[in-house]
Amino acid sequence: MRRSFVFVLLLFLAILAACTPRETIYIVITPTQPPVEATPVSTIGAIIDATTASQQQTSTGTPLPTLTPIPSREGESGVSGAIIDAQYTLPPSSTPRPTNTSVPATPEPPEAAAAATMGPTQEPVTVDNLPFAVPYLDGRQMGIQLDWNVTEDEWYQLIQRIKPLNVTWVKLQVDWSFVVPEQSNEPSVRFRALEMYIERLRQNDFQVLLSVAKAPHWLRPDGAEEDGPPNDPQEYANFISLLLQEFGDSIHAIEVWNEPNLAREWRGGQEFSGAGYMQLFAPAYDAIRAYSPDIAIITAGLAPTGIVPGETIPDRDYLRQMYAAGLGNYDDIYIGAHPFSWSNSPDATCCTNSAQGFDDHEQFFFLENIDDLYAIMQQNGDGDLQLWVTEFGWATWDNLPDPAPYVWMDNNTVLEQAEYTLRAFQIGQERPEVGPMILWNLNFGNANLVETRNEVAGYSLFVDGIAIRPLFEILANRPQ
């Protein structure tokens, strides 16, 4: 009798296993190397780092919690403006690399979660009590960059929060080495979380711009430090093809790399020059066009910078190098730009505010960054193409702990941050050569970056521990 029971039980289990659908196998195209054991992915909501899961949980209708700390890498002094010399090293758009993160499974939160707040309340700011006029702005030409290193519940709430901004575009940076952390034929949890988050954006009628950068270590030279491209540019094209294969219907634009004129973004793999960048761009372009004739292809936004030998190439010079290496052969693309302006207003031109002591150069001025890059495009027969401003913004250290990372950040108040940003959007929309403009950034200002005086927090509209920046409310209540 006991043997019969065991036989029946085993037969039942065998039938059950046969009826269970097999999980789709995810292929990562990499050089042949010994296999690396990967953690199987059973659900999209699996925990990436169990040690932080308890800190990431949220409850319906409560304030969003502190995001997972993203510490700066060893040797980084912060994220600053244009590079002037060896002591002034990092650009404002340097996205802190995620380290610990978790995407715990959570039930679909009800609509009440949209009412969650990001920080303490403050006296409301309305368009009627401002010391400057708020212009009409076309949301179809506007976007904002989000940090997607959050939980599923937090992501839902962030989307509900940005809906009132009436912007069309959401930009995400895809850290290739983060979403494919090891060689494996299995999908990483991070990859599937990215897929789910992008799909959520599409369901809410946002258009998605992906900036894809930072090759995994096993595709780069041995011992290569900081970030950089792969040894074989085709590997980058293969990864873009994988993204498109998995969720291409939800992607509307791809920026091919990020600020390659900074050596810290381009260590090893390819020549540090505009010609080296074009070696990466060409196969990436082919991969995107093989998938779709309609996805917008944007060259990497260049950091507005001076010269530090071996570390930086001025953005103007770098763009000229790109044209010399064949950029003009592409007539269905857009040219990326990062026209940061530090504490200069968007209407200022060089060098009307030189008393600050650092801005006697064109790269410190929004308007001249736009004008100079477009002039180079015209000189190379591309005057009919558009500049896409894939990052811009003004940082302020108002209401954050002293000292500010840089003195110039104290020159911008939260209202000047709002005024300058609105005016920059307006300038862009008045110029046919400027396409969509992406504001840097919504929610990178976590508590760790505030504590370590990282400039990313100065640009963020949502900063842990302080009220939402007025710019957010003004954008949501602008004339529309």
pLDDT of 310-328, one tens digit each?
A: 999 999 999 999 999 999 9
Q: Determine the Cα–Cα distance for residues 91 and 314; give it in Å rounded to an integer.
A: 12
Greater pLDDT, 70 or 445: 445
Task: Please state the domain extents for the chain.
Answer: 2-476
DSSP string, 27-74: -----------------TT--S-HHHHHHH---TTSPPPPPPP-PPPT
pLDDT digits (tens, 9 = 90+) for 414-441: 999 999 999 999 999 999 999 999 999 9
pLDDT at 123: 56
Q: Determine the Cα–Cα distance for residues 448 and 461; give it in Å rounded to an integer.
A: 16
Closest by CA to 215, choosing from 171, 147, 266, 277, is: 266
Greater pLDDT, 4 or 228: 228
In this prediction, residue 246 has a pLDDT band, given cuts at 50, 70 and 90, of: very high
pLDDT digits (tens, 9 = 90+) for 66-99: 333 323 322 222 233 333 333 343 444 566 666 4
H or E segment and range at residue 335: strand 335-337
pLDDT at 239: 96
Residue 254 and residue 295 in contact, taking contact as beta carbons nearer than 8 Å: yes
For the chain, the C-alpha Rg in angstroms (whole number) is 23
pLDDT at 124: 60
pLDDT at 341: 94
First-last CA distance in the chain:
78
In this prediction, residue 223 has a pLDDT band, given cuts at 50, 70 and 90, of: confident
Q: Determine the Cα–Cα distance for residues 380 and 463; give it in Å rounded to an integer.
A: 42
Average pLDDT (321-348) is 97
pLDDT at 209: 98
Listed range (162-166, 284-288, 394-398, 408-412) with the worst mean pLDDT: 408-412
Residue 286 has pLDDT above 70, yes or no: yes
Q: Determine the Cα–Cα distance for residues 440 and 334; give it in Å rounded to an integer.
A: 19
Average pLDDT (381-399) is 97
pLDDT at 125: 65
Average pLDDT (296-322) is 96
In this prediction, residue 388 has a pLDDT band, given cuts at 50, 70 and 90, of: very high
- Please tell me whether the overall predicted TM-score, pTM, comes out greater than 0.75 for this model: yes
Q: Determine the Cα–Cα distance for residues 22 and 335; give it in Å rounded to an integer.
A: 43
Listed range (115-129, 145-159, 338-352) with the worst mean pLDDT: 115-129
In this prediction, residue 61 has a pLDDT band, given cuts at 50, 70 and 90, of: very low
Beta strands in 342-460 (DSSP E): 387-392, 434-439
Distances (CA, A) of 222 to 213, 261, 266, 399: 18, 22, 14, 44
Closest by CA to 232, choosing from 27, 26, 29, is: 29
Distances (CA, A) of 419 to 87, 184, 393: 30, 48, 11
Listed range (170-179, 198-207, 293-302, 345-354) with the worst mean pLDDT: 345-354
Q: What average pLDDT does the chain have?
A: 80
pLDDT digits (tens, 9 = 90+) for 30-48: 222 222 233 332 223 322 3
pLDDT at 182: 86
Q: Determine the Cα–Cα distance for residues 232 and 170; give it in Å rounded to an integer.
A: 30
Q: Which of 77-81, 186-190, 224-228 has the largest mean confidence?
A: 224-228
| Letter string b/e over residues 324-351, b meaning 16 or more CB atoms within 10 A of that residue's CB | ebebeebeebbbbbbbbbbbbbbebebb
Q: What tokens does 57 get? A: 């949980």
Residue 232 and residue 219 in contact, taking contact as beta carbons nearer than 8 Å: yes
DSSP β-ladder status, 434-439 and 169-175: unpaired
Listed range (62-71, 167-176, 267-276) with the worst mean pLDDT: 62-71
pLDDT at 128: 74
CATH superfamily of 2-476: Glycosidases (3.20.20.80)
In this prediction, residue 250 has a pLDDT band, given cuts at 50, 70 and 90, of: very high
Greater pLDDT, 372 or 102: 372
